[in-house]
C-alpha cells in the first residue's frame, strides 16, 4: 500500500460477519492478549471474547437502554483498526465506534440521541456482576474460565460516572460517552495499572472522534515497518495489504507460561463451541508448529525480527517429544506436526543477519532433526514415515487409504496404512540443509556432515518417490516401498525444495491438467482423478468431520497453494521462465481467495475452499496458515537473498508496472521497480517510475535494465556501490 495511505483506507468493508452466525460481527483490531471472536450488534462488547486462548467470555460490558431491545438492522463499517455501527429508529439514534487496543483495552465511543417523547435511560451492564468492586468512578472484576492456570483481571472506566448508575436523556437530547475496559492476568497485572490503562482512554478528556483517531494512528504505526508494494494489478496490490493485516491481526504476545515471547496465531477464531466459557472444540489461538514456518516466510520481511523470532524462542525453551519443536499453549507442551521450521529460521537469518540469535537455536534445531529420525525414520532409507495421518496437518489425504481401497469408514485405524510421506520427507530435507547452512555461517564443524545427510535424503526422494511413467512423486508404503498411486498436491514439493533437474521436467505439468489440479478453484489438495476426490470435503459422501471439517481429499487450501505456487515459480525459472504466464494465472486465482465472492471490497480469507466453485468451506475468517508476501517479493519483484548476496530474477506476469519499496535485507534498504513498455503515460505518472527494471540500494540506483532479467549481486558490491555509485550502463551490460 502507498506509504501515505492508512491501512484503514486500503482495506475496508461494510458488514463482515460469520457465515454460520450472520449476526456475529467481526472485529479487525486485536490486542496482545485480548480479542473478539465476534461482537453482537449492541452498544459495547457483547459477543464472544477470548484472552490468550479460547475463553468464550460472553460479555465484557454493554450499555442497556429502555427504548429498544434490538439494534438490527444496523449499518456497519469494518476497518482493520475499528468497527463503526450506526442505528436509528423512531425512538433513538446510536452511533458507535469500538476497537481493542494492543494493550488489551476494549474501547467503545458512543453517541446517543433520544428521538422519542419520553426519557431515554442508559446504564452500564457487565456479565452477572463480574465487575462488582467499585473504586471511585471505576470498576474492578475478573473472569475465571477454569481452563487455564490464569484468571483474567479487568477494570472499567467511563467518561461519565453517571453510567455506573443511570443516565437520562430528555426527548431530543444527545449525549456522547466513552467506556474502556482493560484486561490482564490476575496476580501479574496490578489492579491499579489496569484502572489507569482504562482511564487513559475513557477519562482522557478527548472526545470520541479523537480517541478513534488515536487508535487509527497507533494501529497504523505497526505497518510503517513493513515493505510497500504497488502494481498495475489492484488485486495483487490489495492482497498484499490484506496479508500484512493478516499478520498483525493474528499477532499475539501473551508474556506468560510457555508463550513468553511474541508469536502469530494460525487464527483468532475457533471451531464448534461458542458456549459461554466453554472449551469444547478446536481453537487456533496457540502456537501451532505446522504454521510457524509459513508465518515466518512472510514475517521475515518485517523490519523488526522480534515477531518472527518469538515463535522459535518459545519452542526452544519448551521442547516436546525427544526434543521436537512442538505446539504450545501457555500451560501445555503438545504434539509436533510435520513442518519446515529449521528452514524458516535459516531464511529469517538471511534477511536480518541475526546470526547470534539464530545460531543460539542450533542445538535445539539439531535435536529436532534427530528426534524426527528417531520417531519417523526408516531403517532402509532416509525417507520419513508418517504413522498418524493427522501429523502432517493434511488429515484424510487419500494415499493413506489407497492400500485399503478407500473404505467408507476412514476413522477405523485398521483401514489406513502408514506412509513414507513426500511432504514430511521434503521438510526433513530442508531442515537438514538449513542446519548445514547455519553451521557454515556459525563456524560449526558439523556443516559438512549435515550437507551429506541432506543430499542423501534428496537422492532417496528422487530415486524412490518419483515415477518416470507418470512423471510425479508419490507416497510409499512404509514397509514395502510400493507406491500409493494418489497424486497429492504435496507431490510438487520437491520442486519447491529445488531438488530437481531436467529429468523431472514433467512434474509441474500436472498443475495445468484440468483432469488433475487445474480445477475451477485451483489447487485441490488431491488430484481430481483420484477415486476419493471430494471437492467440498467429506469422505466418500460422508462428512466425517462435519460440514466445515478439515479433510484433505479435494478442497483447496491456501496452505498448499502458497507452496505449490512457490514450486511453480522456481520450476519456471529453472526452465528458462517457461511457466511465467501459468504462475500469473494461478497467483491471481490464489489472490481472489482473499476476498469474499471475489469482491475486493470484502477482504476475508478462510481455511479451505470448494476446489470446483471457490465457495468458502470454513468460517474462520482472517485465517493464517499460508504465505503470500514472499511470493510477490521473490517472484514478482524477483528478490532472493543469500549468504553471499542477492539475486534478481522476476517472473513476467504481465504487469505494466510495480514498485517494491522499503525492503530491508543484509543491512541495506532496497527498492525494486519496473515500468514496462506497454505502460501508459498515465501509469508512469501515477507510479512515478523510470522505464525498465531497476534496483535502488540505500536510495541510490545500483542496477538498471531495459527489461525484466536475472542478475546476481554480492553484498560487497552492493555496499561498495552505495558508497561509490554504480552506472546504469555498467549494470545493464552485466544483465544483458
Instruction: Specify the pLDDT at position 684.
Output: 74
**Would you report the helix, strand and coil content of the chain in percent, each value rounded to 5?**
35, 25, 45
Say if 331 falls within a structural domain: no
Domain stop point among 583, 599, 633: 633
Q: How far apart are CA 491 and CA 727, in angstroms?
A: 45
Residues 627 and 646 in one domain: no
Is the pLDDT assigned to residue 726 strictly greater than 50? no
Say if 327 falls within a structural domain: no
Say if 172 falls within a structural domain: yes
Residue that the C-alpha cell 467511563 belongs to: 158
Residues 532 and 426 in one domain: yes
Q: Residue 396: left if φ>0, alpha if ψ -120 to 50, beta else—which one? A: left
Instruction: Specify the pLDDT at position 103.
Output: 98
Say if 253 falls within a structural domain: no
Residues 128 and 200 in one domain: yes
Is the pLDDT assigned to residue 736 strictly greater than 80? no
The mean per-residue pLDDT over the stretch 419-429 comes to: 98
Of 88-92, 110-114, 151-155, 724-728, which range is least confident? 724-728
Q: How far apart are CA 124 and CA 134, in angstroms?
A: 13
Q: How far apart are CA 67 and CA 115, in angstroms?
A: 10
Is the pLDDT assigned to residue 731 strictly greater than 80? no
Say if 70 falls within a structural domain: yes
Pick the residue with more confidence: 543 or 232?
232
Q: What's the CATH number where 217 sits?
A: 2.70.98
Q: Report pLDDT digits (tens) over 333-380.
A: 999 999 999 999 999 999 999 999 999 999 999 999 999 999 999 999
Residues 168 and 21 in one domain: yes
Say if 368 falls within a structural domain: yes
Residue that the C-alpha cell 475452499 belongs to: 609
163 secondary structure, DSSP code: G
Domain stop point among 223, 240, 267: 223
Instruction: Specify the pLDDT at position 282.
Output: 83
Residues 452 and 549 in one domain: yes
Residues 723 and 598 in one domain: no
Residue 730: which pLDDT band, with cuts at 50, 70 and 90?
very low
Tell me how many domains the chain contains: 3
The neighbour count for residue 147, using CB atoms within 10 Å, is 15
Question: What percentage of the chain has pLDDT greater than the value 70?
Answer: 97
C-alpha distances in angstroms, 347 versus 355, 419, 623, 666? 11, 29, 23, 12
For helices 341-352 and 292-299, angle between their N-to-C axes, nearest 10 degrees: 10
Residues 620 and 701 in one domain: no
Say if 415 falls within a structural domain: yes
Residues 63 and 98 in one domain: yes
- CA 414 remoteness from chain centre: 36
Q: How far apart are CA 375 and CA 338, in angstroms?
A: 12
Q: Report pLDDT digits (tens) over 59-89.
A: 999 999 999 999 999 999 999 999 999 999 9
Q: What's the CATH number where 551 sits?
A: 1.50.10.10
Residues 155 and 93 in one domain: yes
Instruction: Specify the pLDDT at position 546.
Output: 78
Residue 732: which pLDDT band, with cuts at 50, 70 and 90?
very low
DSSP bridge partners of 92: 114
Instruction: Specify the pLDDT at position 683.
Output: 78
Q: State in Å, rounded, how far the first CA of the chain is from the last one.
A: 32
Instruction: Specify the pLDDT at position 284.
Output: 94
Is the pLDDT assigned to residue 597 strictly greater than 50? yes
Runs of H (alpha helix) within 113-168 = none
Pick the residue with more confidence: 511 or 548?
511
Q: Going by C-beta distance under 8 Å and a sequence separation of 6 or more, which residues neighbour residue 203?
A: 157, 159
Instruction: Specify the pLDDT at position 549.
Output: 80
Residue 686: which pLDDT band, with cuts at 50, 70 and 90?
confident
CB 438 within 8 A of CB 345: yes
Of 58-62, 575-579, 725-729, which range is least confident? 725-729
CB 193 within 8 A of CB 157: no
Residues 559 and 648 in one domain: no
Is the pLDDT assigned to residue 3 strictly greater than 50? no
Please report the DSSP string for 357-400 in residue order.
HHHHTHHHHHHHHHHHHHHHB-SSSSPBEESSTTTTS-TT-GGG
The mean per-residue pLDDT over the stretch 271-286 comes to: 88
Instruction: Specify the pLDDT at position 255.
Output: 98
Helices and strands: H and E segment counts in the chain:
18, 28
* 374 phi, psi to nearest 5 deg: -65, -40
Q: How far apart are CA 45 and CA 437, in angstroms?
A: 50
The mean per-residue pLDDT over the stretch 536-554 comes to: 86
C-alpha distances in angstroms, 72 versus 85, 94, 383, 471? 10, 12, 58, 57
Domain stop point among 223, 244, 272: 223
Residues 642 and 726 in one domain: yes
Q: What range defines the domain where residue 442 resides?
A: 340-633
The neighbour count for residue 629, using CB atoms within 10 Å, is 23
Is the pLDDT assigned to residue 677 strictly greater than 60? yes
Residues 697 and 594 in one domain: no
Say if 243 falls within a structural domain: no
The mean per-residue pLDDT over the stretch 452-480 comes to: 98
Average pLDDT, the chain: 95
Q: Going by C-beta distance under 8 Å and a sequence separation of 6 or more, which residues neighbour residue 685?
A: none
Q: Going by C-beta distance under 8 Å and a sequence separation of 6 or more, which residues neighbour residue 401?
A: 407, 410, 415, 416, 417, 532
Long-range contact pairs involving 715-719 (C-beta distance under 8 Å, separation at least 24): 715/644, 715/645, 715/646, 715/666, 715/668, 716/645, 717/645, 718/645, 718/646, 718/666, 718/668, 719/667, 719/668
Amino acid at each position: 500500500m502507498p506509504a501515505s495511505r492508512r491501512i484503514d483506507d486500503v482495506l475496508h468493508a461494510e458488514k463482515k460477519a460469520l457465515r454460520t452466525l450472520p449476526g456475529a460481527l467481526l472485529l479487525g483490531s486485536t490486542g496482545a492478549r485480548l480479542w473478539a471472536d465476534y461482537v453482537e450488534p449492541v452498544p459495547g462488547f457483547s459477543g464472544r471474547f477470548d484472552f490468550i486462548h479460547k475463553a468464550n467470555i460472553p460479555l465484557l460490558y454493554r450499555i442497556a437502554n429502555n427504548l429498544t431491545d434490538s439494534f438490527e438492522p444496523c449499518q456497519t463499517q469494518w476497518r482493520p483498526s475499528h468497527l463503526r455501527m450506526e442505528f436509528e429508529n423512531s425512538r433513538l439514534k446510536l452511533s458507535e465506534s469500538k476497537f481493542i487496543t494492543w494493550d488489551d483495552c476494549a474501547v467503545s465511543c458512543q453517541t446517543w440521541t433520544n428521538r422519542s417523547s419520553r426519557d431515554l435511560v442508559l446504564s452500564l451492564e457487565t456479565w452477572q456482576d463480574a465487575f462488582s468492586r467499585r473504586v471511585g468512578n471505576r470498576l474492578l472484576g475478573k473472569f475465571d474460565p477454569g481452563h487455564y492456570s490464569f484468571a483474567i483481571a479487568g477494570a472499567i472506566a467511563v467518561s461519565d460516572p453517571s453510567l455506573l448508575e443511570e443516565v437520562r436523556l430528555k426527548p431530543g437530547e444527545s449525549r456522547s460517552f466513552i467506556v474502556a475496559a482493560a484486561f490482564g492476568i490476575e496476580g501479574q497485572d496490578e489492579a491499579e495499572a489496569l484502572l489507569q490503562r482504562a482511564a487513559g482512554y475513557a477519562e482522557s478528556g478527548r472526545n470520541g472522534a479523537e480517541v478513534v483517531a488515536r487508535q487509527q494512528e497507533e494501529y497504523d504505526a505497526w505497518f510503517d515497518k513493513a515493505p510497500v508494494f504497488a502494481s498495475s494489478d489492484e488485486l495483487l496490490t490489495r492482497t498484499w495489504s490484506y496479508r500484512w493485516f493478516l499478520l498483525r491481526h493474528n499477532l499475539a504476545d501473551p508474556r506468560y507460561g510457555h508463550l513468553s515471547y511474541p508469536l502469530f496465531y494460525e487464527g483468532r477464531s475457533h471451531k464448534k463451541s461458542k458456549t459461554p466459557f466453554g472449551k469444547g472444540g478446536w481453537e487456533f489461538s496457540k502456537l501451532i508448529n505446522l504454521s510457524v514456518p509459513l508465518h515466518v516466510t512472510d514475517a521475515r520481511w518485517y523490519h523488526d525480527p522480534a515477531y518472527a523470532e518469538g515463535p522459535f524462542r518459545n519452542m526452544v525453551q519448551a521442547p516436546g517429544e525427544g526434543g521436537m519443536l512442538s505446539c504450545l499453549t501457555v500451560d501445555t507442551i503438545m504434539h509436533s506436526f510435520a513442518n519446515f521450521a529449521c528452514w524458516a529460521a535459516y531464511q529469517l537469518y538471511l534477511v536480518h543477519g541475526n546470526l547470534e540469535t539464530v545460531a543460539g537455536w542450533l542445538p535445539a534445531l539439531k535435536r529436532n532433526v534427530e528426534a524426527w529420525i528417531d520417531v519417523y525414520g526408516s531403517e532402509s532409507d532416509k525417507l520419513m514415515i508418517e504413522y498418524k495421518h493427522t501429523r502432517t496437518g493434511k488429515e484424510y489425504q487419500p494415499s493413506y487409504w489407497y492400500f485399503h481401497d478407500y473404505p467408507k469408514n476412514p476413522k477405523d485405524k485398521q483401514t489406513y496404512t502408514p506412509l513414507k510421506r513426500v511432504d514430511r520427507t521434503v521438510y526433513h530435507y530442508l531442515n537438514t540443509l538449513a542446519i548445514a547452512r547455519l553451521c557454515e555461517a556459525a563456524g560449526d564443524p558439523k556443516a559438512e556432515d549435515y550437507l551429506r545427510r541432506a543430499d542423501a535424503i534428496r537422492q532417496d526422494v528422487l530415486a524412490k518417490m518419483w515415477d518416470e511413467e507418470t512423471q510425479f512423486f508419490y507416497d510409499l508404503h512404509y514397509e514395502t516401498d510400493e507406491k500409493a498411486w494418489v497424486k497429492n498436491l504435496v507431490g510438487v514439493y520437491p520442486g519447491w525444495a529445488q531438488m530437481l533437474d531436467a529429468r523431472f521436467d514433467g512434474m509441474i505439468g500436472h498443475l495445468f491438467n484440468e483432469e488433475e489440479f487445474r480445477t475451477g478453484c485451483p489447487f485441490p489438495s488431491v488430484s481430481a482423478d483420484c477415486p476419493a476426490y471430494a471437492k467440498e470435503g467429506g469422505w466418500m459422501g460422508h462428512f466425517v468431520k462435519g460440514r466445515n471439517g478439515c479433510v484433505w481429499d479435494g478442497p483447496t487450501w491456501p496452505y498448499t497453494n502458497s507452496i505449490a505456487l512457490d514450486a511453480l515459480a522456481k520450476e519456471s525459472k529453472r526452465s528458462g521462465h517457461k511457466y511465467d504466464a501459468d504462475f500469473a494465472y494461478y497467483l491471481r486465482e490464489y489472490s481472489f481467495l482473499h476476498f469474499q465472492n471475489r469482491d475486493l471490497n470484502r477482504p476475508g480469507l478462510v481455511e479451505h475452499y470448494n476446489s470446483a466453485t471457490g465457495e468458502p468451506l470454513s468460517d474462520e475468517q482472517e485465517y493464517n496458515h499460508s504465505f503470500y508476501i514472499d511470493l510477490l517479493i521473490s517472484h514478482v519483484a524477483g528478490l532472493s537473498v543469500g549468504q553471499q548476496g542477492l539475486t534478481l530474477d522476476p517472473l513476467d506476469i504481465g504487469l505494466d508496472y510495480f514498485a517494491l519499496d522499503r525492503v530491508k535485507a543484509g543491512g541495506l534498504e532496497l527498492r525494486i521497480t519496473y515500468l514496462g513498455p506497454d505502460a501508459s503515460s498515465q501509469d508512469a505518472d501515477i507510479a512515478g517510475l523510470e522505464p525498465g527494471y531497476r534496483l535502488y540500494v540505500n536510495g541510490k540506483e545500483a542496477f538498471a535494465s531495459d527489461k525484466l532479467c536475472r542478475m546476481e549481486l554480492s553484498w560487497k558490491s552492493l555496499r561498495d556501490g552505495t558508497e561509490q555509485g554504480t552506472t546504469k550502463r555498467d549494470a545493464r551490460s552485466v544483465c544483458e
